[in-house]
Structures are given as C-alpha cells and as structure tokens.
Amino acid sequence: MVSMMLFNIKTKIFAPDYIITEGQSQEWFEVNQDEINEISASITNGGDVWVENGKIHCSGKAPSEFHIFDKDKKQFVISKEKQDELLIKQRAEVRAQINAKRDECVNGGVFVPEINKWVDTDDKGRSTLVEIKADFDLNGKNNTYTLICADNTAQVIHFEEFKAVWNAVKTLKEKMYENAYMHKVLLEQSENPTDYNWSTGWSKTYQEHLNEQQA
C-alpha cells in the first residue's frame, strides 16, 4: 500500500489530511512516499520546494555546503560569500598537501655526489650529523668518522666529505622550504586552487630513487 500524506507548501510541513481547516486547502498538496522522500531531501539539505503549474517541484539536495538555491533561477548557485568560504577551504587543503610534500622531501634523504651515497635527512639522520660535527669541533678536523648511509652501509668520511654531507642536507631543507613558500604564494593568487599545479621543484627522495631502480 502506497503511503499518502499532505504537504503544506507555505509552512513546509507534512500532515495527515484531517488537520486541514477551511481556507487552507490551497496550501496543501497530496504527496506519496517517493515525493515525501524527495521533498524531505530538498528542504533538509539546503534546497527548496515550490509549486509550478499546480504541481510540486523539488530542487533535491545542495551539491555542496557552499551552494544555495536561487529561487528565481530555480537552480543551485554558489554565492559570493560561499565562494569565498570555498576558496579559503580549498586553499587550506592544498597548502596542507604542499606542506606534506615539503616535509616528505626534507626528511626523504639526499644524494651526496662527493661520497656517492644517499644519506638520511630525517630527525635521526640530522641528529647523527650534529653529533659528528660536535666531534670534529672538539677533536679536530683530521679525524675520520663512520656515517651509516641511507642504504644501511657504513661510509668512513673525513672532514671535507662531512662538510659536503652537511651542506647537502642544509641546502635540501632550504630549497624545499623555499619551493613550498613559492607554491603557497602562487596558490593564494590562483582563482582555482584545486587546479593549481604545485608538483614542480621538489627533490627526489631516497624511496623514489629506490622505486626507479626497481622499475
């Protein structure tokens, strides 16, 4: 059995037929269960319901939280205020992706040509370099130290090689932060944040290097 109810186009409420009073009948329309579902989805999700040629029409739910229903055009639009909110949200999401990529590169290792090795650049890797630097400062630059590289091999390095490693790690971090900053500046200028291409200028990580070797 099909469920039938009445819907008040003015107050946007449902009710059984016995509550209608004299003079109100033109505000009420008989609706079946499918129409009830469509009306409910519209009025509870940013849409609207209206009468046209004696029949109820429904907008359906808003495509997103940033859409409003234009009653004159009978369609969903993004208002200037909602558009600004959407841009703020989209830019924040893309900035988070840029920052994540920056951190991935900063912590992802760097290749040092002077020793022909990839070295770790995460917190542990940088801490190890600080310890080696402290030893060189304390005990003199004529000593050598063993550095465990990204491939887990031991590399004996002298001071000039250590300087090359130290500078490579330092430069990597500086360049990745500069690249991220540049992308975030350009992102703010973009009218379509989700279409902005921020994929350029990033350093290859050790994992990406391994993936290329295995391809």
83 pLDDT above the threshold of 50: yes
Judged by average pLDDT, the poorest of 51-65, 106-120, 187-201 is: 51-65
Mean pLDDT rounded to a whole number for the chain: 91
Average pLDDT over residues 58-78: 88
pLDDT at residue 1, rounded to an integer? 43
**Backbone torsions φ then ψ of 107, nearest 5 degrees:** -95, 0
pLDDT at residue 2, rounded to an integer? 47
pLDDT band of 128, cuts 50, 70, 90: very high
32 pLDDT above the threshold of 80: yes
Judged by average pLDDT, the poorest of 63-77, 84-98, 155-169, 195-209 is: 63-77
pLDDT at residue 10, rounded to an integer? 87
148 pLDDT above the threshold of 70: yes
Q: Write the DSSP symbol of residue 27.
A: G
**HSE (side-chain half, CA atoms, 13 Å) at 186:** 14
> Which tens digit of pLDDT belongs to each residue from 13-23?
888 866 665 55
172 pLDDT above the threshold of 60: yes
Model's pTM, two decimal places?
0.70
DSSP for 153-183?
Answer: -EEEE-HHHHHHHHHHHHHHHHHHHHHHHHH
Pairing of strands 49-52, 55-58: antiparallel
